[in-house]
């Protein structure tokens, strides 16, 4: 049991960004991620809001911008997409633990975890980057973009491929995130594994400043064959109210948001 718990802790260290990122600070969230409970929430768990930083103090996230010539802040291969989020989800969030509900290893054809296991880990995320003229808050879901995450044993390169809204209502929002992940040894610099990760993250408000995040994560090899699937749940506390973010690794967010509104017939929402 100790070995299993240790494996999951390592695997959870990186994770939604998935998130996240998928909003996961994303998400992925992102965040960018349970194969890892030995070094990231399964195999990358960047998921949820992809910009989410998920892990221990031994992990650092170093976002890197897409190196393509940008036009109006958007690289030619990027999709300028934004997600409207509810007020109760906006701001900076933190959790100190997660509950792994189950984990299935397809290579072994068996369930690795079928009894909930609590994993102590810290995740911090920021959800919401821009505000429109009516006061509504939007999350930047521009893809693709890249980032690198460092752990004590490996370096993980994450390319966030897609972030999309699956469901949104006053009391729940669900985000999908997919990422291509390459993990390399810190000692030898050689590639350990490459895989694709898909994460579905559902956010529910519990109280003011308190949310519940439910994660469904699937990892696939380069041929599309499943490697792992897992489910987890955690509670996050708001540590900071929403503030506008005009620039990050994806460039000039203010200009990109304005371009998004104009391109989608929402010029009335432009906030100068």
**What is the tens place of the pLDDT at every residue in 192-241?**
999 999 999 999 999 999 999 999 999 999 999 999 999 999 999 999 99
Residue 66 has pLDDT above 60, yes or no: no
pLDDT value for 140: 95
- Closest by alpha carbon to 178, among 29, 34, 10, 76? 29
Rounded to whole angstroms, the Cα distance separating 172 from 114 reads 26
pLDDT tens digits for range 172-198: 999 999 999 999 998 899 999 999 999
What pLDDT is stored for residue 74 in this prediction?
52
Predicted pLDDT at 197: 95
What number is the average pLDDT over the span 39-57? 35
User: Of 121, 134, 163, 122, whose CA–CA distance to 31 is shortest?
Assistant: 163
Res 22 pLDDT > 80: no
Closest-CA residue to 153 (of 13, 262, 19, 34): 13
In angstroms, the CA 64 to CA 115 distance is 38
Cis peptide before 28 (omega within 30 of 0): yes
pLDDT in the model for residue 75: 57
Q: Tokens standing for 87?
A: 């007020």
């Amino acid at each position: 049991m100790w070995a299993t718990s240790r494996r999951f802790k390592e695997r959870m260290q990186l994770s939604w960004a998935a998130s996240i990122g998928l909003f996961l600070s994303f998400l992925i969230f992102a965040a960018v991620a349970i194969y890892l409970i030995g070094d990231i929430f399964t195999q990358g768990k960047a998921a949820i809001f992809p910009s989410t930083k998920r892990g221990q103090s031994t992990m650092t996230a170093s976002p890197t911008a897409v190196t393509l010539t940008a036009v109006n802040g958007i690289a030619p291969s990027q999709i300028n997409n934004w997600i409207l989020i509810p007020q109760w989800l906006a701001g900076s969030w933190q959790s100190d633990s997660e509950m792994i509900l189950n984990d299935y290893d397809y290579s072994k054809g068996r369930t690795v975890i079928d009894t909930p296991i609590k994993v102590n880990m810290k995740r911090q995320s920021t959800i919401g980057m821009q505000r429109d003229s009516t006061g509504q808050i939007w999350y930047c879901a521009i893809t693709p973009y890249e980032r690198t995450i460092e752990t004590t044993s490996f370096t993980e390169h994450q390319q966030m491929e897609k972030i999309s809204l699956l469901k949104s209502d006053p009391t729940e929002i669900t985000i999908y995130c997919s990422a291509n992940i390459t993990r390399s040894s810190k000692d030898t610099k050689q590639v350990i594994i490459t895989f694709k990760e898909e994460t579905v993250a559902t956010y529910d408000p519990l109280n003011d400043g308190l949310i519940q995040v439910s994660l469904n994560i699937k990892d696939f090899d380069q041929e599309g064959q499943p490697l792992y699937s897992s489910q987890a749940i955690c509670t996050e506390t708001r540590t900071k109210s929403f503030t506008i973010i005009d620039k990050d690794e994806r460039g000039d967010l203010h200009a990109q948001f304005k371009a998004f509104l104009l391109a989608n017939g929402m010029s009335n929402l432009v906030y100068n």
